[in-house]
Structures are given as structure tokens and as C-alpha cells.
Structure 1
Amino acid sequence: MTLGQKIAWDDTVLPFQLDKSDMRGRVARLDGVLGGILRQHDYPAPVEALVAEMVLLTALIGQTVKLRWKLSLQVQSKGPVRMIATDYFAPDEEGRSARIRAYASFDPDRITDGPPFEQVGEGYFAILIDQGKGMQPYQGITPLAGGSLAACAEAYFAQSEQLPTRFSLGFGKSSQPGVAEHWRAGGIMLQHMPKASLHAKSGEGSGDGGLLQADDLLDGDEGENWNRVNILLDTVEHMELIGPVVPPTDLLVRLFHEEGPRVFDAQPVRFGCTCSEERVRQSLSIYSARDIEKMTTEGGRVTADCQFCGAHYDLDPKTVGFEAEESGNSGD
């Protein structure tokens, strides 16, 4: 793929490399993905913005996981927004779309008109990677700090992975003639290529609460390269990140043409959930008939709702639990 080539860039993540400065990165543009996620819920505006930011981070970070792996981002907070959870399901095979889902849990009485990040309080930002059956899941955690979810993700990579990382994100509602108002998001992730000789840093960093930052990990020529590329990234405009006019390939040329940008195959992403009636039945299989009876509604049914996609499941209580009379749907 050449840099002059146009691609269908909405709902894609485009990996790239800056050969002269030894950086790698990704450009993401999300449209239908956000619509699919946010239309499942009636979030207040600040919560919608936090979910949009979290989904964009998930798309940018998730593109690196291997086929059939699952990456999850989570925010746990004591603030009005108690939790944000996202999942990125890598494709089952090359050429297929990755899937993203997300939801937020919040206290509507505590939501304010302030900036979105003010809706989260003391808490933590976590990244979890599930490599599949028989493999130990990986989890890394960093405190919520820095004034945005993007800053939390940057602190995570500096603190837990010792990888200098930078995000430049844009998201908001798009209004175009003849097109219904809808959410769009776009962003760029930059990351210094890991060095085998890089010594692990310890002690306090220059970030909030003494957290390590990218600048704490690099010096000499590597530090100069990092600063130069970040200065170039600072010139990006909001509409260049999210707008429908400038393709990611053209954006990379405008920002980094002197850094030798090289792009790779784009990864399509879509909204997708893994919930199913079978999974609901499986989750209920640990309960006895007496436990199931306590879950049964006045109408004589056992119901469950997916927090991610809003799917509603309505089951005959006789067909669930480890004492079920039936295992299938025939009694429903």
C-alpha cells in the first residue's frame, strides 16, 4: 500500500511506522462502531464522551493483539462514573473485522456539567489481555491521573510496560447536511520502538503522583527523536482527526513526511457483542433449583439483560441451573 492510495477509512485502524525516528503508531477513525455502542444506552453527554474516548483508545491499543485474543480496558472509579468497560475481540482469521463493545456504569444523581474526566474520581485504569483457553490472562493497572483517559493510558504504558507512548484523540457529534447527527472519533497513537538495551526505570517519575512518563524513559538521540515527532503531532487539528475529508494516509504525510512514514494493512473494526442465550444458560448452570427460584420473576420467568448490547433473554426457570429438567429451548 502506498501513502497516496485512498482507503475506506471509517471504522478502521491503520498501523504505520516512522523509519527515521524509530517510532510506530496507528491512526483510527470510528463512526459506525461508536453509533452501534452508544445507541444501546441513553448516557448523559459527559458519560457518552468518556465512553467514546475509551472506545477510541481500545481500538488503537487493541490492534496489536494477536488473532483470537481479547483485550479489555477498564476504569474503576469512586466518582459519578463508577466503571467503564470495553472489549476488543481480535479477528478469528486474517482479513476479518475486529469487534468492539463497551458500557458504563454511573450514578445519574452525581453527574455534573463539568468536563468529562471530572466525572471519574479516585480509582484505576486497567488493561487486560486474554490469550485464550489454557493461558494465564495478563493484567496491568495504573492510578487514574493526568486529566484524561488518554493520559491514563500513556501513564500505564510508561509505568507498566516502560514504553514511551502518546495519544492525540478527537471525538464529538458530527452534523452534516442530510445526515443525522452522530458520534465520530479519530486518533493517533505513537509509540517508541522497544529497545533490548532499555534499562527498567524505578523510583518517582515526573507525572502526577510520581508516575513515570514517556520523557522519563528516553534521553540522548532517542529523546530528541521523541520530542521532535511529538512537536509534529501537536500540529494536528481536531477536524483532521475525526473529519470525513482527510484520509489517514494523507494525514500521515502532512504530519510526518520527513520521518519516512510507512503504512501497513488497515484493520477493519465493528461493533459486536459475544452474548448469547447459550452463555446465559452456562452462567446460570452453577445454581440450584432453589437459587433459580429466587431469581424467577412474578411472571414465572428468569430474565437477563446484556449490559453491552442491551439484548434481553427470557428463559423458563425449569430449563436453567444444574438441576434443570430441560437443557434446550423446547420448554420456552
Structure 2
Amino acid sequence: MTIGSQIAWDDTILPFQLDRSDIRGRVARLDGVLDELLAQHNYPRPIEALVAETALLTALIGQTIKLRWKLSLQVRGDGPARLIATDYYGPSKEGEPAWVRAYASFDADRLDPDAAPFSQIGKGYFAILIDQGSGMVPYQGITPIAGGSLAACAETYFAQSEQLPTRFALGFGRAQEPGQPDHWRAGGVMLQHMPKASPFATGGGSGEGGLLEAQDIVEGEDEENWMRANTLLETVELIELVGPTVQSTDLLVRLFHEEQPRVFDPQPVQFGCTCSADRVRESLSIYSAKDIGHMTTEDGIVTADCQFCGAHYEFDPKTLGFEAEESPGDGE
């Protein structure tokens, strides 16, 4: 196995369909993109793990959105891990890579380095927001934090908000290959039953707090197919999920060869951020000159730092807000 052949399936999302079962899915592998994403910050290990899991879920879910759309995933809780936020930007053109970015907000004094990462979230909610672009109303769905993992939260979200049976198998962590420094790797498989003409589940479900789960929204032959595919997915091993020696197509054959897997074109993914000086100016345009004055440093400038990529911006306060005295180009 050569490094070049690893790159062929690292940092990609491979869509597939199980023709026998009427189930679709994705296989995601994040290697360099996850390392670059986490390198923007200096998070404690539990927070790194939560960001890695959320980024992997975002990549798996986001691959279904259209070109130029944006999918955001947010996890908010009352525990030490207050916020995990990730964005997936659909490519601007066919064949171009999608972008993923992420950041976390946490209370370092309350964080327990020895506790399970998911337990650091506490009570809160898991939300997905889809932005379809200018002039369109964003879509948002929310479900409570429940189930023992972020993957379980995502499964509950799809059962509750979309009534789509969904299952995730995720693997992530630091890995070290011979002669290479340790680095982050992540891989996962997402299964989702093809949508029906109309959902039929009503009332409470069998999940935590009466939430709907996948088994509550399938019946008959669909239930048999769903349970069979899930049983096969449960045989996957961590090394198969994260690689690097098992490529995505081989993994599908190992798991689902009897389900007639059919693959589609893979989607490359990379770390990327959309921040810019113009976007910061736009976000500050709602403030008065008095408000801008409160933001101005002793050196007479207004500064802003991107929480996702760490980019640092400095502005002349006279060029900011809706009472700006000068345009950005004046005096240059």
C-alpha cells in the first residue's frame, strides 16, 4: 500500500445504494481534512473527539445537499462542552470539492479529561440547518440530546424530523502509521431507508423520552430489509471504518455483497472557510458609531477573529457600522 493509493479514498464521501434492500448510504473517510480542521485550534482531547465525530456526521449528512447549499450541524448543551458547530458547503460546480469547517466552545474549568466525551455535553439539543442561498428561507430541525452518542442523536433527528430510518457506524481517533507522525483519522458509514410517499408513524416512539427511532417507522418487508442491513453493518470493525488499508468500495463489498451495492461518483472534501473582511464588515453594519466605539481597542482599531479558521482582521472604526464616516477604500 502506497501513500498515493491511500489518497484515492481519503477525504472523500462515497454515495451508494443497496438495490436489494431499497437503502441508500454514504461512506466517508476524513484524513488530512480532519487533521487540518483540528489544527486550527488547541482543543483538549474530549473536545477534539466531539469535533471529530460532529465533522464526520456533517460530511455524511451534507453530501446530499445541492450545489452551493450549506448544511450546518450544531450541538448545544449545558455541560462543559457548550457548543460544537460544523458547516458543510456544497461544491460550487460538479467535480469540485465540498468544504467542511468546525469549532467548539467549552468551559475548560468544568471539563473532565477522563470522562466520556459525550457526557461533557449534558442536556441540550442537536440541530441541523440547511441554507439554500439568498432569497430562500433556511430549514431547521431540532431534537434533544439523547441516546448516548452524537451518532444516536443524528439517528433520532432523522426519525423525528424526517421519519427516515437512519443508522450510523463511526470510527475516529489518532492513528500512527509506520514512519509517520500520529494524526487524526475518521471514517463512517451511513444507512438510510429510501423515503416513502408519506410517513405513517404517529404518537410516541420507543426511544429515550418517547422519541421516535428507526424501528418505529418501518414495517413488513421494509422492516426485514432494514434489520438485515443493520445486522450486516454491526459486523464492521474500527480499522475497516477508518482505513487506511481498506478502500471504501472494498468495505461495501465486505459488508453488503449480498445486498447488491451500487456506488456513485465520490465527492472530494477539504477544509475550507468562507470568512473574509467584507463578511465581517457586513456583520458589523447593524451597529451604530457608539457601538463600534465600544469595540475599538486602545490602539484605535477594531479586531475580529474567525472562530473556524483563526483568521485575524483589523479595521478602521470609521469604516464600520451604519454610520460609517469613510468607505473601506478611503485614504488608501
Question: CA–CA distance in 1 between the matches of 2:214 and 2:239?
Answer: 26
- Per the TM alignment, residue 220 of structure 1 is displaced from its structure 2 partner at its CA by 1.2
Q: Secondary structure at the match of 1:49?
A: helix
Are residues 1:123 and 2:124 paired?
A: yes
Unaligned runs of 5+ in 1: none
- Root-mean-square deviation (Å): 1.4
Partner of 2:134: 133
Q: Residues 239, 271 of structure 1: CA spacing in aligned structure 2 closer, same or farther, 3 A cutoff?
A: same
Percent of aligned pairs with the same amino acid: 72
Q: CA deviation at 1:118?
A: 0.5
Does the 8 Å contact 1:7/1:247 carry over to 2?
A: no
Shift of 1:322: 2.2
Name stretches of at least 5 consecutive residues in structure 2 with no aligned partner: none
Pairing 1:224-239 to 2, within 5 Å after superposition = 224-239=224-239
What is the CA–CA distance in structure 1 between the aligned matches of 2:60 and 2:160, rounded to whole Å? Answer: 19
Q: Deviations over 1:61-120 (max 9, x none)?
A: 000001111100001111111111111110111111100111111100111111110001
Q: Distance in 1 between matches of 2:47 and 2:263?
A: 34
Question: TM-score, with normalisation over the residues of structure 2?
Answer: 0.96
1:288-320 C-alpha deviation (Å, 9 max, x unpaired): 222211110011110001111111101111222
- Listed as ranges, the matches of 1:52-131 within 5 Å are 52-112=52-112, 113-131=114-132
For 2:7 and 2:305, locate their aligned partners in 1 and report how far apart those are by CA, in whole Å. 37
Q: What TM-score comes out, normalization by structure 1 length?
A: 0.96
Structure 1 counterpart of 2:146? 145
Q: Offset of 1:54 from its aligned partner? A: 0.2
Shift of 1:247: 0.4
| Aligned-partner Cα distance in 2 for 1:57–1:127 | 11
Query: Are the counterparts in 2 of residues 28 and 56 from structure 1 also a CA contact under 8 Å?
Result: yes
**Which secondary structure state, in structure 2, belongs to the residue aligned with residue 299 of structure 1?**
coil
Tell me, yes or no, if the aligned pair for 1:62 and 1:71 is still in contact at 8 Å.
yes
Partner of 1:172: 173
Tell me which stretches of 4 or more aligned residues in structure 1 moved more than 4 Å.
329-332
| Residue identity opposite 1:149 in structure 2 | L
Q: Distance in 2 between matches of 1:56 and 1:294?
A: 39
In the alignment, the residues of structure 1 paired with residue 76 and residue 68 of structure 2 have an alpha-carbon distance, to the nearest angstrom, of 26
**Structure 2 residue matching 1:297: 3-state secondary structure:** coil
Shift of 1:279: 0.7
For residue 179 of structure 1, give the secondary structure of its aligned residue in structure 2: coil
Question: Which residue is equivalent to 2:210?
Answer: 210
Distance 1:48 1:331 in 2: 44
TM-aligned CA deviation for residue 331 of structure 1: 4.8
How many residue pairs match? The answer is 327
Query: Which residue matches 2:20?
Result: 20
Moved more, 236-245 or 281-290: 281-290
SS of corresponding position for 2:181: strand
Once the 2 structures are TM-superposed, how far is the Cα of residue 326 of structure 1 from its aligned partner? 2.4
